Structure 1
Amino acid sequence: MITNIYCVRKDGEVYQTDTNNVYITNKPDIPMNERETETVKPLGRNSSVTYDYGTYKNRPITIPFVTKKYNDFYKFCSFFNGTKINMYPSWQNGLYYKVLSYSINLHDAKGIPEFDVNFLLEPFMYGEEEKITNSTFENQGDVNSKMKIKIFGSGDLQFNFNGKSYQVNDVTDYVIIDSELKECYKDGENKGNDFIGDIEELEVIPGTNIFTNGLGNITKFEITYVPVYFR
């Protein structure tokens, strides 16, 4: 199978290496997800203490490329210049990495540009955005995902998600709760003061997720989230 990467920039422009005459010479080694911990040696103790922060480190990977023409090399560099990029490796079955930064090391091999790209990636891989309207649904990811939920109804609306209770008061037509942005709003109106609950706990979990109506007249809801994976 041909090994390549397909990239999408924040502005919507796309780039695929093999169709632009840029080729991966060796499939890269991908480091495993590593938790962020700190080990300290307190005075007066014979052993060290390890603190686990519950988060994961960004992942560095290096991918070697080759192309026959410098114009193709410069086109590659131009695409990656100064913008957020989602990178889809062909060997990861449609999942993508979020690229935080990169650097390029060029090696001129008898006039043929060979180069290594050092990527710094977010800790996890991501799938495509899911939109859910069912009260029970399955998340195929294996890491909790932040979510956005749009609740339709009026008045004081209460609901339960995965056994935890949330409420938004004084709703007209609909309200949006975004646990990624930690915001509750409708159009340009901030509804944070009307929100009751721990917004950071509003997450889609791996496996089965359950939404149930509580008090108030909720007519429908829409949940959007991106599955997150250990890969």
Structure 2
Amino acid sequence: MVEIRQSSIATFLDNVDTREFNIYQRERVVIPTPEEDNEHIEIKGRHGSLTKKNGFKDIELPIDFYFYEKASFKVTFRHAKVKFFNAKTLMLNDDDSVFYKIKSVVIDNALNDVLEVGEFTVNFRLDPFQYELSDSAKTITAQRTLSNPGYESEPIITAHVAGTGKIYINNVPITIQNINGTIIIDSELMNAYGNNNGIITNLNNHMIGDFPVFKHGSNVIYFDGAISKLEVNPRWRWV
């Protein structure tokens, strides 16, 4: 039977502590480092192999939970499963400056020898990156340098435009043409669009250039033409 003890560690699903619905994290977990997905290609006449980097693989994170209350575990477990399967983000309170994006969830069979006691394991499949919780949009009206402390990030940039202009990130231009209002450039989704009170408009044909990435270290941003300002969420992230 599960050993009951007061838990000071906690899991947050979409910023909600699982203890709020009487589910407790059993013990502290070790976060795995994502594995690089690399190809090593041997070429005759070449010294060594040619390495092709395809990014990082997802990480698998099992977390053990238990329940001990003056109620039926099966009822609580039934309601808890809805929250686990619907969750989009995961945060641990012993590392609460970052969160993880949940890809999928597998819940093992629960042990329930006593009506009010139960335990089970949730296996999370997570995006490989840890995302900064403190990230917020930065308004840019003149040349500015943003310092990326972590791994390269895929920002979301909202440009305020009255015609045509260019955004420069580390001197690499992105042309925005024939926009009267705002255009959102989302490097993670690789999509340029407008959002008018929740109505999304595809604006990819109004953007010329590659979706920007902020490298580790200093990133210089400026703009010209009919662009008046940028709102930049850098989405700092770690591996």
Superposed pair shares fold, TM > 0.5: yes
User: Per-residue CA shift, 1:4-45, capped at 9, x if unaligned?
Assistant: 11111xxxxx53122332222222232212101245778x89
Deviation at 1:137?
Answer: 4.5
2:83 aligned partner, one-letter code = F
Say if 1:152 and 1:220, in contact at 8 Å, map to a contact too. Answer: yes
- Cα distance in 1 for partners of 2:41, 2:56 equals 19
1:205 aligned partner, one-letter code = K
TM-score, normalised by the number of residues in structure 1: 0.80
- Cα distance in 1 for partners of 2:193, 2:107 equals 42
Specify the alignment match of 2:4 in structure 1.
none
Unpaired runs of at least 5, structure 2: 1-6
User: Per-residue CA shift, 1:146-173, capped at 9, x if unaligned?
Assistant: 2222222323212311221121222323
Say if 1:144 and 1:204, in contact at 8 Å, map to a contact too. Answer: yes
Moved more, 183-192 or 71-80: 183-192
- Identify which of 182, 195, 205 aligns with 1:193: 205
- Cα distance in 1 for partners of 2:64, 2:88 equals 18
Deviation at 1:54?
Answer: 3.4
Deviation at 1:79?
Answer: 1.1
- Identify which of 74, 89, 95 aligns with 2:98: 95
Three-state SS of the structure 2 residue aligned to 1:203 is coil
- The number of aligned residues is 219
Specify the alignment match of 1:34 in structure 2.
35
Assess, with a 3 A threshold, how the Cα gap between structure 1 residues 50 and 99 changes in structure 2: closer, same or farther: farther
Three-state SS of the structure 2 residue aligned to 1:77 is helix
Q: CA RMSD in A?
A: 2.8
Specify the alignment match of 2:24 in structure 1.
23
Say if 1:60 and 1:118, in contact at 8 Å, map to a contact too. Answer: yes
- Correspondence 1:55-94 to 2 at 5 A: 55-68=55-68, 69-70=72-73, 71-81=75-85, 83-94=86-97
Three-state SS of the structure 2 residue aligned to 1:91 is helix
Unpaired runs of at least 5, structure 1: 9-13
Identity of aligned residues (%): 22
- Correspondence 1:37-52 to 2 at 5 A: 37-38=38-39, 49=49, 51-52=51-52
- Cα distance in 2 for partners of 1:218, 1:40 equals 45
- Correspondence 1:91-130 to 2 at 5 A: 91-108=94-111, 110-111=113-114, 112-128=117-133, 129-130=135-136
